[in-house]
Amino acid sequence: MSSSTNDVNVSYLDYKGKHSGLLGWILSVDHKRIGILYLISMMVFFTVGVTFGFLMRLELIAPGRTIVDPQTYNSFFTLHGIIMIFLFIIPGLPAVFGNFFLPIMIGAADVAFPRLNLLSWWLFIIGGLLAIISVFLPGGAPDTGWTFYIPYSVRTTTNVIPALIAAFILGFSSILTGLNFVVTVHRLRAPGMTFFKMPLFIWSLYSTAWIQVLATPIIGITLLLVVAERTLSVGIFDPALGGDPVLFQHLFWIYSHPAVYIMILPAMGVVSEIIPVFSQRTIFGYKFIAFSSLAIAFLGSLVWAHHMFTAGMSGVAMIVFSVLTFLVSIPSAIKVFNWVSTLYKGSILTDPPLLFALGFIFLFSIGGFTGLIQGALSVNLHIHDTSFIVAHFHYVMFGGTGFGIFAAMHYWWPKMFGRMYNKVVAKTGFWVLFVGFNLLYFPMFVMGWLGMPRRYYDYLPEFQIYHMLSTVGSWILITGLLIMFINLFNALKNGKKVTEENIWNGETLEWSTPTPPFLFNFKEAPTVESGPYEYKRNEVSETEVKEEKV
Amino acid sequence: MFNETNYIDSVNNAFTFIVVISAALLIAITIIMLYFVYKYNAKRNKKAVNIEGNMTLEIAWTIIPLFLVAGMFWYGYLGYDALATPPANAYKIKVIGQMWKWNFEYVNGVTTDTLYVPQGKPIQLDITSLDVSHSFYMPHFRFKSDALPNKNNMLWFQSDETGVYDIACAEYCGLNHWNMYTKVHIVPQPVFDEWLSNKKALKDGGTVPVVDSNTVKKDTIAAPADTAKKSDGNKKK
């Protein structure tokens, strides 16, 4: 790398280092280029995941065989789950937008360990490819569901081992990213940026990073033990050898429930950025939103066994986990109330990022409220493992995190690429997506309550109407996705050029970097004096407003 | 006294209680949100006002939801509590899941693939599995319990009405997971006793004294079907 400062004062997109062309990207240790690498790979995996989802819905449009046999269908939902969870939702915000914006938003030039950061991406790609390869190896695509429940995952003859090792490797990618973020937040904040002057997106990434570091090793070792069970028959989980399948369920959910918060917390962070910026005012209850992220990370680590209410746990365990599950809803509710209050007396611009953020609040609230329904013990025994659960987590993970990712894309796209998308098309895409989403997933609540179990290749005739509506919804949803992504990617070539630093009038540090940012982000290292959303220029007007009232 | 109807009612009530509160809050949040977006739109409201927070509001929207979720927990707990302790005189039937069918084992050694239970009597189901994990699910009765190979799980119920309802598998168990449907028949005690003794006779290899198993099945279905409430569904074609 050149020591001349002139050379680094170019956009990270144009910078030429030791390598050029493709190598200049896949060997780059720049956090922004790594963020873009994640973005591209994530979009590819997302497309594959959507395709599996589309095929599942198509199969279910009518009873009986429609397009595939049961074995293929079982592989569809397994791969849909593995790809969407491990390759889209988990890395979606931290690895793409966290990598790109975490250093910038705390005023740093890069993450603490840039090389480790590149290693995370390589592990991600290796894990992702292994998951895809497992589909094509002899033996057949894995058919265990993304939960790999024992004993079935030991009995089936499909390629479970490659899928398990893929998830193991992806886990390491996630741990390294988390570790990097924790250290970066602690060590690399700009002078003057205290913890309580950090943007809320950083708070949410910081909370997430701790879960990644603390919880992911548990799934890693658990998945390896399943591999050991399949190859060496050690008898830890397999009841035929004296093992306990419920132990597997505990270990699996000790990670996989906190993982849900790994997925949702950064999206909450994005919403906390967007709402004050598009209301042009300071955020309501900054500290409550910040601490609720930590509370969610903490309480969320203690509720895993609510996935196992039907497994025959002791009465005490049932009660404790039900109570904790209800408690974890409180910090989420606090966030929602503070977001809505931030709109109060704002000067609101209904640009696409805000639309997606409001969509998040509505859909996530439905996801949250239906979570309460499942937290009640007696109701849970009825709707557990039905399509009610499928609807619930799609509202939280897709309506929540997915819309959070889309909001982040529309918010930061101009900063990342220096190009503006067509806003009218973006809004159209949102509404199509929103309608399709609800038509796709809401009928699943209804049929779940009526007794439609999940992971079913076929169903009783009385459920057909709901399945049909849902499948039609999937077509509308995919249309919305296409409108949105074509608009965004078209902007890269044909979009209006953006050169101004601060197109949305934001007050966080990424809006004081050049557009697109320079290699080391800032022209000169920033010093922070005020909080992230102070909007001091409003303060003069506040007295005016009071006078008007009098 | 715990019976089919009031257990179903207790689950339905807990569900309704939570849904009503949730829907009210969701509608309130959405309306307020949309109203703010309209009222304080930059077109109408050029200047924003900074409000950093309000301690009273923060406390209110922490404490009030705590009470609401405490109520929700309690409703859910009540139903579960009733289900957790079967009466000592319950009639026991073993339920054994396997890929991909259910077996029901009665005290006299009779094994069937369809569940028959006497009306008006507490029934305790001891649920286990031969191979992988399954989950014994009776949607009409609003409950399920996992069938695990190394463990017995228990469910109990009492139905004061006769009827025929679906049984499904709710824990994914491989290729034909979706096709583990069978039925539970709730029949009057005399019909049940006759059915069981006929089954026993069949099993012991003797000739069936009165009727063969087919007619028994038809009888028992025909008798309760008249008085039964609407079935939860038909068996898969």
Least confident interval from A157-161, A326-330, B199-203? B199-203
Percent of chain A with pLDDT over 70: 96
Model ipTM?
A: 0.89
Within a 10 A sphere around the Cβ of A415, how many other Cβ atoms? 23
Average pLDDT, chain A: 92
Half-sphere exposure of A293 (CA within 13 A, CB side): 29
Q: Does domain B4-84 have CATH number 1.10.10.10?
A: no
Whether the pLDDT of residue B1 is over 60: the answer is no
Contact A312 B153 (CB under 8 A): yes
Which of these, A126, A233, A225, lies nearest to A169 by C-alpha position? Answer: A126
How would you write A462-494 as a 3-class SS string? Answer: HHHHHHHHHHHHHHHHHHHHHHHHHHHHHHHHH
Residue among B72, B78, B177 whose CB faces A372 most closely: B72
CB proximity A71 to B under 8 Å: yes
Q: What CATH fold (topology level) applies to the domain B91-227?
A: Immunoglobulin-like (2.60.40)
Residue among B48, B135, B174 whose CB faces A346 most closely: B48
CB proximity A313 to B under 8 Å: no
Distance from A376 to chain B by nearest Cα, in Å? Answer: 4
What's the pLDDT tens digit per position in A383-394?
999 999 999 999
pLDDT at residue number A417: 95
What is the longest distance spanned by two Cα atoms in chain B? Answer: 93
Q: Is the bond leading into A516 cis (omega within 30 degrees of zero)? A: yes
Per CB-CB distance under 8 Å, the chain A contacts of B40 are: 279, 343-348
User: Average pLDDT for residues A245-259, to the nearest whole number?
Assistant: 92
- A316: DSSP letter: H
Whether the pLDDT of residue A22 is over 90: the answer is no
pLDDT at residue number B82: 85
pLDDT at residue number A538: 75
Q: Is the bond leading into B100 cis (omega within 30 degrees of zero)? A: yes
Distance from A342 to chain B by nearest Cα, in Å? Answer: 8
Residue among B131, B139, B153 whose CB faces A451 most closely: B139
More confident residue, A392 or A22: A392
pLDDT at residue number B18: 95
Chain A's closest residue to B73, CA to CA, is: A376
Separation of alpha carbons A105 and A98, rounded Å: 10
Across A254-285, b (16+ Cβ under 10 Å) vs e yields bbbbbbbbbbbbbbbbbbbbbbbbbbbbbbbb
Residue A497 burial class via C-beta count within 10 angstroms: exposed 0-12, middle 13-18, buried 19 and up: exposed
CB proximity A379 to B under 8 Å: yes
pLDDT at residue number B81: 87
Percent of chain B with pLDDT over 90: 67
Please state the domain extents for chain B.
Answer: 4-84, 91-227
Residue among A319, A330, A366 whose CB faces B65 most closely: A330
Please state the domain extents for chain A.
Answer: 33-549
CB proximity A538 to B under 8 Å: yes
Contact A369 B173 (CB under 8 A): no
Residue with tokens 């955020």, as numbered in its chain: A283
Separation of alpha carbons A337 and B60, rounded Å: 11
What's the pLDDT tens digit per position in B121-134?
999 999 999 999 99
Residue among B32, B73, B232 whose CB faces A340 most closely: B32
Q: Which residues contact A63 (CB under 8 A, 6 or more apart)?
A: A458, A459, A460, A461, A464, B237
Chain A's closest residue to B21, CA to CA, is: A369
Least confident interval from A236-250, A531-545, B23-37? A531-545
Chain A's closest residue to B55, CA to CA, is: A285
Tokens standing for A541? 């007007």
Per CB-CB distance under 8 Å, the chain A contacts of B19 are: 373
Contact B149 A358 (CB under 8 A): no
B contact test, residue of A146, A253, A348 with most B CBs within 10 A: A348
Residue A516 one-letter amino acid: P
Separation of alpha carbons A335 and B188, rounded Å: 55
pLDDT at residue number A7: 63
What's the pLDDT tens digit per position in A280-307?
999 999 999 989 988 998 999 999 999 9
Separation of alpha carbons A437 and A398, rounded Å: 9
Residue among B19, B65, B135 whose CB faces A333 most closely: B65
Q: Does domain A33-549 have CATH number 1.20.210.10?
A: yes
Whether the pLDDT of residue A2 is over 60: the answer is no
What's the pLDDT tens digit per position in B102-119?
999 999 889 999 999 999
More confident residue, B173 or B222: B173
Whether the pLDDT of residue B191 is over 50: the answer is yes
Residue with tokens 């189901």, as numbered in its chain: B125
Q: Is the bond leading into A151 cis (omega within 30 degrees of zero)? A: yes
Contact A460 B236 (CB under 8 A): yes
